[in-house]
Amino acid sequence: MVKSEAVQATADISTESADNDLLVEEAYEAMGSDRSGNGSAESKHPKWEKWIENFKRRGWILVFILPALIYVLIFCYGPMYGILTAFQDYMPGDEILGSNTLWVGWDNFNTFFSNPNFGSYFLNTFLLCIFGFIVGFPLPIIVALLLNSIRKPKIKKGLQILYYAPHFISLVVLVGMMKLIFGSDGLLDQLAIKLGGSENGLQLFLKPEAFRPLFIFSGNWQDFGWSAIIYLAALAGVDPALHEAAKVDGASRFRRIFSVDLPAILPTIVMLMILSVGNLMSCGYEKVLLMQTGGNLETSEILSTYVYTFGLMDGHYGVGTAAGLFNSVINVVLLIIANFTSKKLANQSMW
């Protein structure tokens, strides 16, 4: 998820600069002059002419988008027709659009919504993601601002590496480490038993109330440094002259963070916020599945694990697709709301 955010952010930056380019072009146009020197009066569609001319001159740059575009087409848009299976009695090997396709209408959705645990799966997903967002979103910003205001570059670099190193631990290893520390017979429980008090230790992995904190804090421990990189990049672009000027005005270090740094990265923050809200209901099932035990099922069973176990493992492909589709629809709605709100409030949006 974080990686895709990073990609998105770079994409945003490039679109921004493209926007700037356009602005320049428009400015030229407004002044009535033409950079290429050709008289625009001869052509009937000066805008088109210019576009074609522009394309001829700089069109090769588009080649750089090509891999990304192909990737998105093949792996994101291509498989989308599979959504149709949400309305079918489907099993692998069936034709998705053929004479033998068994259409069942909204049956799969009925099965999904009438699941006695539907409410709790939905709530679990929402709570896990929203808490994850509340803790996980501001943390990298704070870290980036603090790192940025360290004066000695060596310490800054060192800390930065220290912070983002855990990002490279694989999920399986991470959960393995957590079990060694917090699991039954783990470090923490051994201590608890040795120091007396409890007979069986805390057994955090079996406690439903401990699942969310464990999940969220381990996730953030792993990723806060990595997510901060984007903000650090944005902060690197802040004009030193602004800081100089603030210093001259007698602004403290703390004051400068609020009045110079923060406003500078605000557009990045807003953009990333819109993106994370759009991903709010999808926290990924892998880590949840790894952390699931018979004891914590009450809070650890979320929509995506349901799709995995019921849909894929038990072979109810149609219901699984329906559940996934439902999740995606919620995400899209959230994305639209977030985008609309930020457009109104901060005058900034994705489209």
Partner 1 sequence: MNKKIIAGIMAVTMCAAAAFTVTGCGGGKGSGHEFTVLAVKEETVKDYNDMQVFKDIAKETGKDVYWTFNTSTQYSNNTDPVGIKGIDAIYHSGFSNLKLNDYGKRKRIVAIDEYLDSMPNFKKILEDRPDIREALKSPDGHIYSLPRVEEMGLKTYPNILFLNKKWVEKLIDNGNMPEGVNITKEQLVDGLDISRNEFKAILQKFKDNNMDDSIADNDEVPLAFVSDNWQGNESDFIASFGLPENRQHKTLVNGKITFTVEDEKWFNAIKEMNDWYNKGLIRTAAFDQDQDTFLAKGQDGRYGAFYWWEKNTVVSKDKRDDYIVVKPLKDDDGNRYVGPSNELEVEKSACVILGTCKDKAGLLSYFDKFFEPDYSAQINYGSISAGAFLPEKNADGMLVPNDDHGAQSADDFRMQNAAYGVVYLTEEVFEKNVVMESRAKLRKEILAEHVIPYTYPGAEPIPNLNYTESELKILSQYEATLGKNIKSYMTNAIIGASVPSKSDWQKMISNNRNSIDKIKKTNQDAYDRYVATIGKTN
Nearest distance, CB of residue 241 and partner 1, angstroms: 45
Is 218 in contact with 178 (CB distance < 8 Å)? yes
Nearest distance, CB of residue 205 and partner 1, angstroms: 7
Cβ neighbours of residue 207 under 8 Å, at least 6 residues apart? 295, 296
Distance, in Å, from the CA atom of 28 to the CA atom of 47, rounded to the nearest integer, reads 12
Token pair 């990595």: residue: 226
Kindly state whether residue 126 participates in binding partner 1, applying the rule CB under 8 A.
Answer: no
- Residue 2 CA, chain-centre distance (Å), reads 5
Binding-residue pattern over the window 62 to 101 for partner 1, x denoting contact by CB under 8 A: ---------------------------x-xxxx-----x-
Find the binding residues for partner 1 in span 225-284 (CB under 8 A).
Answer: none
Find the binding residues for partner 1 in span 292-311 (CB under 8 A).
Answer: 293-298, 301, 309-310
Is 268 in contact with 346 (CB distance < 8 Å)? no
Of 208 and 284, CB closest to partner 1: 208
Both structure tokens of 168: 């490279």
Rounded to 5 degrees, what are φ and ψ at 88?
Answer: -130, 160
Nearest distance, CB of residue 333 and partner 1, angstroms: 27
Distance, in Å, from the CA atom of 255 to the CA atom of 246, rounded to the nearest integer, reads 9
Nearest distance, CB of residue 45 and partner 1, angstroms: 34
Which residue type is seen at 8? Q
Q: Decide: helix, strand or coil at residue 65.
A: coil
Binding-residue pattern over the window 164 to 203 for partner 1, x denoting contact by CB under 8 A: --------------------xx-------x----xxxx-x
Using CB under 8 A as the criterion, which residues of the chain lie in contact with partner 1 when the complex forms?
A: 89, 91-94, 100, 111, 114-117, 184-185, 193, 198-201, 203, 205-208, 293-298, 301, 309-310, 312, 314-317
